[in-house]
Amino acid sequence: MIPALVVFGYLAIVLYIGIFAVRRHEQTSAEGYFLAGRSLGQSVFLLSLFGTNMTAFTILGSAGHAFANGIVTFGLMASSSALIIPVTLHLIGTRMWALGKKYGFITPVQMFRDRWECGHIGTFIFALQAALLVPYVIIAVMGGGTTLSAVSGGLIPYWFGGAIVAIVVMSYVFFGGMRGTAWVNTFQTVLFLSFGAAALILIGASIGGYSQAVESLLAAPATAPLLTRERFSPWFFFSYTFIPLSTIVFPHINIFCLTAKRLSQFKKTVIFYPWCLLAIWLPCVFLGVAANAMHDVPGIESKLAARATLATEAGSLDPTEAARLQQAAAGDDVIIHMLGHYAPFGLAGLLGAGILAAVMASDSQILALSTMFTEDVFAFYEGKARFGERVQVQTGRIFVVLITTVSYVIALRAPPGIFNLATQYAFSGYSALFPLLIGALFWKGSTKWGAFAVALWTAATVAGVAILQAVVSPPPPGTVVPIWSIGGTDVIVRAAGGTDVFGLMPVVPMTIVSAVLMVVVSWLTKKPSETTLGRYFSH
Amino acid sequence: MNLLNPFNLLNPLTPLNPLNAFLNRRSFLNPAAECDKQHGIFRAPRMLKLLLALLVAVLYVLHQDVWLWDDARPLVCGFLPIGLFYHAIYTIAVSGVMWLMVRYAWPAHLEREVEARDRSVVSDRSREPSPPERGEGRVRG
């Protein structure tokens, strides 16, 4: 119960920062509420941007993925993100900031509408972005439920934990807007950046160092591959480098780029982003792998037993039992079990708060959805002109309540596996939208029809992958179900972890075809006026 | 400039910096390359920008470390598998390249464009008659 109390104390601090600490700032104008008046300082900008991009999936999902797949997790997501995200911030984030300052844009869709002289195509892009962002919010609510339930030793049920997280996040987003969210994210980022090292040291001290654990993993044929990448094809590993392209396209990141006071505030973010990733991912991935050697932790032992049963009796299990075992073997909470077993009581709570900090990064997504709705729909369709800016901000607040409630209800029914849920839908979809930003910012020849083709293709493929994975059950690990073959060559297969296209993740063909569509359709269609192009390409 | 100050060697604007010595040599080939001391930035020659782009491309390739694919050993510090250690060092190397990009390929013109626009908006406003008081002139239906 003590760890749960520490977590509740943490939640109270977050509420205070998000609601009361920002009261003195103006929150009635759209720029004041949605963009913190474009006035965030350097440190808040770096820490909050990083925190905004770290969700439940960072700590819980990464450790869970490493528990099942090994050290490959770090290369798949962390080190590739360390390269791609700063580069995109440098090239695209800075340009979005400048356009926002020059022309008053608050959302990316506003820029697309202006750049390509379009209206309803912008609305379609808004709808698609919003649909892809909701899973991200759901992940956070699920992570909140998982964390609170685990930290309280099951005293707080999953549904109640999720509800508490949802209400806290909703409250400070509702009252504090972007400024409250940015300050809470800064506090949370500091907390969970120190979390990784603290967890690594505490658990290491309790088990007498990690050498013995790693050697025992290497000695067992079942676990030795977790310390290499032999179970993964280099092509699959390569295809994961397309996933971080999604980051700059995520509306909450893109909109956040507009909050910087000066362009120079991007500099430290670009340089230190890789260090922040290292600080949080390396300990989480390593601990997730090391958990396989911790048979004395009851929660982990039952997961290992479920995994062993799945591996040996996969063919003879009925689907219900297989699903139950897959759920039992899921490793999203291994790090919490380790802390509960090895870390002292109060400290486990503090570390649980660290996890919750990452979980609650959904605040930015909720705010981004609200910003997009009020700017791209309410204001665009004359709501602002008819009712004024104050009503626009109030509408944004109501939207915050609505989207949080809907996400919570969906989270109660969503299947387990935080990592896969995030990767397969939201990340892949946003990566496929990446050519939109490149076309808008760097290519004069891009047109609204090119943009529409990209958005339509992304919507179709995300829906296609989702339907395919819902219809075709995942096969046992190590086997695949061919979906489409040509001349004996498998084109699309259903694997245990998702869907593969020519051995690559779907994100690769999705993004490449998006880029091709942008080029081909733009070539064939009418360009925007010279006046518009002059405003974007005067340099 | 104090030539005895060792920190001058690290200053990206000083010609004593070995990298800048190279860059200044490049500037003979490209007249666009110059130190813009007024804005505290170095305008990189096209060659340097290409070099940085190439460096990023090399990093992208180095991410695909197939040569360590099947190896867990040596264990760095006795517990860190070599594949994981490689990617940790890789992440730090990326930060170094990002530092170079910020120093030598920063899009400072964007900020100057924004400032120029802000100045023109302010001067336009100063030429306009003073705005009405709040509520004054509002059309009542």
- pLDDT tens digits, one per residue of A61-100: 788 889 989 999 999 989 999 999 999 999 999 999 999 9
Query: Which residue, among A227, A230, A266, A268, would best test binding to B if mutated, counting the most B CBs under 10 Å from its CB?
Result: A227
**Which residues of chain B neighbour A277 with C-beta distances below 8 Å?**
91
Q: Do the Cβ atoms of A230 and B70 come within 8 Å?
A: yes
User: Quick check: A3 and A340 in contact, CB under 8 A?
Assistant: yes
Has residue A216 got a pLDDT over 90? yes
Beta-sheet pairing, A498-501 with B34-36: unpaired
* Predicted local distance difference test score (pLDDT) of residue A1: 66
pLDDT at A333: 78
Q: Is the bond leading into B74 cis (omega within 30 degrees of zero)?
A: yes
**Which tokens sit at A124?**
């379609």
Cα separation, A169 vs A18, in Å, equals: 9
Over residues B32-49, the pLDDT tens digits come to 444 454 555 555 678 888
Bridge partner list, A494: A481, A499
The per-residue pLDDT for B22 is 54
Q: Considering CB atoms only, which of A78, A234, A286 is closest to B64?
A: A234
Which of A72, A209, A270 lies nearest to residue B102, judging by beta carbons? A270
Query: Hey, is the C-beta of B129 within 8 angstroms of any chain A C-beta?
Result: no
Question: Using CA atoms, how far apart are residues A10 and A188, in angstroms rounded to an integer?
Answer: 10
- Poorest-pLDDT segment among A377-391, B29-43, B102-116, B121-135: B29-43
CATH numbers and ranges of domains, chain A: 2-25+34-293+330-438 (1.20.1730.10)
Lowest mean pLDDT among A251-255, A398-402, B116-120: B116-120
Asked if A376 contacts A122 with a C-beta cutoff of 8 angstroms, the reply is yes
Chain A nearest-CA distance from B2, in A, is 27
Residue B134's pLDDT is what? 38
Residues 40-79 of B with CB under 8 A from A: 56, 59-60, 63-66, 69-73, 75, 78-79
Calculate the average pLDDT of chain A. Answer: 86
Look over chain B and give the mean of its residue pLDDT values, rounded to a whole number: 72
Contact criterion met (CB < 8 Å) for A98 and B113: yes
State the pLDDT at residue B135: 37
Selected for mutation to probe chain B from A76, A87, A277, A536 (highest B CB count within 10 Å) is: A87
- Residue A9's pLDDT band, with cuts at 50, 70 and 90, is confident
Residue B126 above 70 pLDDT? Answer: no
The C-alpha of A123 sits at a distance from chain B's nearest C-alpha, in angstroms, of: 28
Task: Specify the pTM.
Answer: 0.86
Angstrom distances, CA of residue B129 to CA of A396, B99, B123, B139:
35, 47, 12, 19
Contact B113/A80, CB-based, under 8 Å? no
Option in B56, B71, B94 nearest A82 (CB): B94
Task: Report whether pLDDT(B131) > 50.
Answer: no
Mean per-residue pLDDT for A469-498? 82
Domain ranges of chain B: 11-109
Q: Tokens 């991935």 — which residue? A: A285
> Is some CB atom of chain A closer than 8 A to the CB atom of B99?
yes
Q: Does B116 touch chain A (CB under 8 A)?
A: no
CA distance A170 to A165: 8
High-pLDDT (> 70) share of chain B, %: 55
Asked if B38 is an interface residue toward chain A (Cβ–Cβ < 8 A), one would say no
Selected for mutation to probe chain B from A71, A88, A230 (highest B CB count within 10 Å) is A71
**What is residue B6's DSSP assignment?**
G
